[in-house]
Amino acid sequence: MATGDAERALAQAGEAYLPGGLARVYPQGTRINSGGRVEIGGCDTVELAREFGTPAYVYAEDDMRARARATVEAFAARTERFEVVYASKAFPCTAAMRIFAEEGLSCDVASGGELHLALRAGFAPERIYMHGNNKSEPELEYAVTSGVGHIVVDSFDEIERLERVGGASAQPVLLRVTPGIDTDTHLKIQTGQLDSKFGIPLAHLERAVERCATAGLQLRGLHAHIGSQVNDLSVYEALTDVLRDIGDFPLLNLGGGFAIAYTREDRPPPVAEYAEAMLRRVPDGVTVLCEPGRSLVGNAGVTLYTVGTVKEIPGVRTYVSVDGGMSDNIRPMLYGATYEADLVERLGDSVPCRLVGMHCESGDVLVPEAALENPRPGDVLAVGATGAYGHAMANNYNAVCRPPVIFCRGGEARVVVRRETYDDLTRRDAE
């Protein structure tokens, strides 16, 4: 595929299949089939619900691969010195990580568990970057003994812990910098402001460089992350200026934060514009790293639910309850994340309603202001753009079993993470 073709394909995908701006929200190639139902990866969503049950996380595998290729192409068209690093926290699923390893990406992990998944998925250890603001000594030892390519040092305490780990004296590291840059995103997903738990403040950076040297660490470069769901691309230029002024290093990791469409009105910048903004002020000879996560998987996945109760309160509102909620998507409750919902057999918006979950919390609201086409018990419903952080943040509140992950491609569906069972809920009991 020629340079730029993958990105153009993503921009055009689905336009002939879905009404309005839904093509931006749903996976590439999603369409309405001859039966009038939403089809993802060639698979009928009603049939998926019948076969695998709901809730279920459903992904179009080709979409993930296309987004990975488009990101690589966007940087390759502008420089030979770059590395695309999958931010695995967005979707820490072995099967997804294997796809990105196959597509030639590197991997960012933020815990011993994510490191375990990355290694199992087939990432070469030297292509892994170990993050985290409070890595334990056992996690650091696991990273060093596994041959992880770079550890991203987040504090002076971490340097001391690395000194105590055998074999870490020549470990390549990056220093995570707190650049003091605010972004246009939600406060709870900002990471680059001065008042942050992440990174080393600029005022302490010279001492951190010296401390890495005395610890025998191989300081290869700097890392900074300014937040998630970033639409204002000028912040990347400001970040590059901050890092460039610190000193000459062969590697600059400018983080991720590439935005996606959560609603049909959203129009995030194309990945080529992120690449351009990241590279515009980088000195010659420096390799730039980026860490996309959400942008590779967010729109590749949807969550399927079954409507259980439709409750009209005259003069107030109509509540539509589904068989999931804050246990499979806590983001709306955590920081007000916005989603839209659709009945997969009747796309339309005749009934204003509030889409809620089945948990014992009044705040268990998936979509506060939804609009569905005559919702009824038993309807299969889809919430798009849930491919990032749904599976990653899933929990067992109310002892609800976590959903399966289903990959769809060419009309074939396969389970890559099975649904939990009641027995799984007691498997770790000590008595």
C-alpha–C-alpha distance, residues 395 and 86, integer Å: 23
Residue 365 contacts residue 338 (beta carbons within 8 Å): no
Torsion sign, CA atoms 282, 284, 287, 292:
positive
C-alpha–C-alpha distance, residues 175 and 141, integer Å: 18
Find how far residue 374's CA is from the centre of its chain: 33
C-alpha–C-alpha distance, residues 154 and 133, integer Å: 5
Please calculate the CA angle 70-13-262 and round it to the nearest 5 degrees: 85
Give the pair of three-digit tokens for residue 231: 């639409």
Catalytic residue among 93, 353, 360, 401: 360
Residue recorded with tokens 């010659």: 284
C-alpha–C-alpha distance, residues 139 and 119, integer Å: 14
Question: Which candidate, 336, 266, 321, places its Cα nearest to that of 295?
Answer: 266
Q: Verify whether residue 360 is a known catalytic residue.
A: yes
- The residues that are catalytic are 360
